[in-house]
Amino acid sequence: DRMEIIRVNGYSEREKREIALRYLWPRRLKEAGLRAEDVVLPESVLDHIISRYTRESGVRQLEQMLGRITRKVAVTFADRPVDSPASPVDITETLLDEWLGQERFQPEEARKNLPAGVATGLAWTPTGGDVLYIETTLLPGSHELTLTGQLGDVMQESARAARSYLWSHAESMGLDISRFKRNGVHIHVPSGAIPKDGPSAGITMATALASAYVGKPVRSDTAMTGEISLTGLVLPVGGIKEKVLAAHRAGIRRIILPKANEKDLKEVPQEVRDELTILPVERIEDVLPAAFNQDSRSTAERPEPVTTSSAS
């Protein structure tokens, strides 16, 4: 009389490509009465369909797109004169624009240069992971904390906790406490029409705030996720696989995440982990040196990167 909920992780783009080539594409060809030699679908074009025409954790939309293509091919063959040569149809990106319409999505790409006050975070969505940017600016002569971008209650609490911790520990962290006293703060998360919530942007907000207070930019090749407590602890969050895949897709190669989430890295495909440097942290004091370009510090002062063997 009870139901067991089985949670299934989403597929990476590489996994979607393999599923499409091995199962979806042959099935759609058969349904349309076509043979494999009738159509040429390059992997680069398939990748274009996955990234520009679908956004999902599974492959339902992808199969629908492939079905539309095979039906268009079948019509193309039917319209050919009887005595025309039986040459295959080459699927190109130009043909996709004609048959599938305008591209629906633009893949998120990491910003090349971040100004002071901006940090790169990672978010989980029902369709997978996503990259988001936390933007902060100081407001001279104010003491208020302004939050915009349709932030939910939990996310607003994370922003307050991040600011309170930095303010109360400014001296020990090498921050100028007078800048806290003289300036209010405005935190904004772009894509303002989309509601956002959850605690996982806590360390990203703290990093963006610290960047604004010291006037120093955060490394643009680094993204992060993790909840921050009022005592400075970095607490575990969910959706690690989806977030790591989103960062990798966007071209980010350094990821800061809670040390308690190291175990979740085993769900990330090995070929993705091989291209990333994962920095597990336990406290916000570990996050800031890793987020800024301070590689001149000794190894003992830096969070130890996770190697692929320890992540599995």
Residue 126, pLDDT above cutoff 90: no
For residue 201 the two structure tokens come to: 């942007």
User: Is the pLDDT assigned to residue 294 strictly greater than 60?
Assistant: no
Mean pLDDT of 252-262: 96
**Does residue 172 have an active-site annotation?**
no
Nearest partner of 255 among 299, 221, 301, 297, judged by Cα: 221
Q: Are 267 and 259 in contact (CB under 8 A)?
A: no
3-state secondary structure of 282: coil
Label residue 308 by pLDDT band (50, 70, 90).
very low
Confidence tier at 72 by pLDDT (50, 70, 90): very high
Catalytic residue of the set 200, 211, 220, 259: 200
The three-point CA angle 278-282-285 to 5° equals 100
Looking at the predicted structure, is the pLDDT value of residue 239 above 60? yes
Q: With beta carbons less than 8 A apart as the criterion, state whether 234 and 203 touch.
A: yes
> Does residue 4 carry a pLDDT above 70?
yes
Q: What is the pLDDT of residue 299?
A: 37
Query: What's at 235, amino acid-wise?
Result: L
Q: Which of 16, 241, 243, 259 is catalytic?
A: 243
The pLDDT value given to residue 303: 52
- Cβ pair 284, 170 in contact under 8 A: no
Where on the phi/psi map is residue 148: left (φ > 0), alpha (ψ -120 to 50), or beta?
A: beta
Is pLDDT at 89 greater than 60 in this prediction? yes
* Residue 80: pLDDT band with limits 50, 70, 90: confident
CA distance 294 to 209: 17
Residue 9 reports pLDDT greater than 80: no
pLDDT tops 50 at residue 298: no
Reference 199, options 286, 276, 285, 258; nearest CA is 258
Give the residue among 179, 147, 141 at the shortest CA–CA distance from 160.
Answer: 147
What confidence score (pLDDT) does residue 105 get?
86
Nearest partner of 292 among 41, 110, 116, 67, judged by Cα: 116
Tell me if residue 243 is catalytic. Answer: yes
List the chain domain ranges: 13-99, 118-311
pLDDT of residue 17: 94
Q: What is the mean pLDDT of residues 220-225?
A: 95
Closest CA to 88 of 35, 157, 144, 129: 35
118-311 is classed CATH 3.30.230.10: yes
The amino acid at 226: G
Which position has the token pair 């029409």? Answer: 193
Classify domain 13-99 by CATH number. 1.10.8.60
DSSP string across 49-65: HHHHT---SSSHHHHHH
CA distance 166 to 230: 10
pLDDT at position 304, please?
56
Residue 251 in contact with residue 226, Cβ under 8 Å? no
